[in-house]
Structure 1
Amino acid sequence: MRVLCSSTLIGEFFVIGFAGLVAMKDDTLAMSTVWTVCAVAMALSVLLCGMITRPGGVQLGWALQLGLIASGFFVPMMFFLGALFAGLWWASVHYGRRIDDIKASWAAAQAQGSAGPDAA
């Protein structure tokens, strides 16, 4: 799960940065506010890469997805990109957990097989 989720989060890192460049063109938004929000979101996406397997890591990832979708109120294209990355996040968590389960059962089967009578 860690690899799939981290890949999604790193992709979001770049999307957040590009969204900041687009938001910077809006005269109604202060540049310092845009870059403060973007910096926090970008830092969160990178920090979450190391926190995925810890308690609350996946939930923080979902909060980041909601934040990306909500940023569509300032950069309308982010409604689409936020929804796209929310789908990728779901797939990363869902299929990552399935892959982890398959790896664990395979490792257990290998451990049982090597402990059999032919191991000696």
Structure 2
Amino acid sequence: MTRLPFYGRQGKFTFRLLAITLFGQSIILSFFALVARGNAIAAGRPQEGERLLWIGLGLALLALVASGLIRRPYGITLGWIVQALTWASAVVVTAMIGVALVFTALWLLLLVQGMKVDRIVAEREQSEAGEPAPDAA
């Protein structure tokens, strides 16, 4: 098995899968911002609620930006940062543990499977071109 990448360009299939994941995560994170605000207001802390709303929306925006930049070498790094910050947001809203667990598992699954598909496609294209296939090391 190859190591998980934290920086660098990904194959066509991999970056598409990861971009979809980050886009969906950005939608859920925007809902997190509303829940965090509502919890703070219900607890009698409206100023903190406004702050949490903007922090949550900032995280959602970061996920959306990372989704758009996933083709760039630093795009996958931004994706990992979004995953880490999603876990960190569980300190504020404990229900985010479930969200972080689901999206991190999805991120890892699609990263590994996307890399496999990209490798298979590259091997197939090389064999069709009559070139020797690269070794799997």
> So what's the TM-score if we normalise by structure 2?
0.73
Structure 2 counterpart of 1:19: 32
Higher helix share: 1
Structure with higher Rg: it is: 1
1:42 alignment partner, one of 40, 57, 60 = 60
Which residue matches 1:108? Answer: 126
- 2:29 and 2:59 in contact (8 A); partners too: yes
Tell me, in whole angstroms, the C-alpha distance in 2 between the residues paired with 1:52 and 1:94. 15
Sequence identity, in percent?
A: 27
Q: What 5-or-longer segments of structure 2 have no aligned partner?
A: 1-13, 132-137
Residues 69, 80 of structure 1: 8 Å contact kept = no
Match 1:67 to one of 85, 104, 117:
85
CA distance, structure 2, for counterparts of residue 31 and residue 76 of structure 1: 16
Q: Aligned-pair distance for 1:22?
A: 0.7
Aligned counterparts of 1:92 and 1:53: Cα–Cα separation in 2:
15
Q: After TM superposition, where is structure 1 displaced by more than 4 Å over at least 4 residues in a row?
A: none
Quote the RMSD (CA, aligned, Å).
1.8
Show structure 1 runs of 5+ residues with no match. 114-120
Alignment TM-score, normalising by the size of structure 1: 0.83
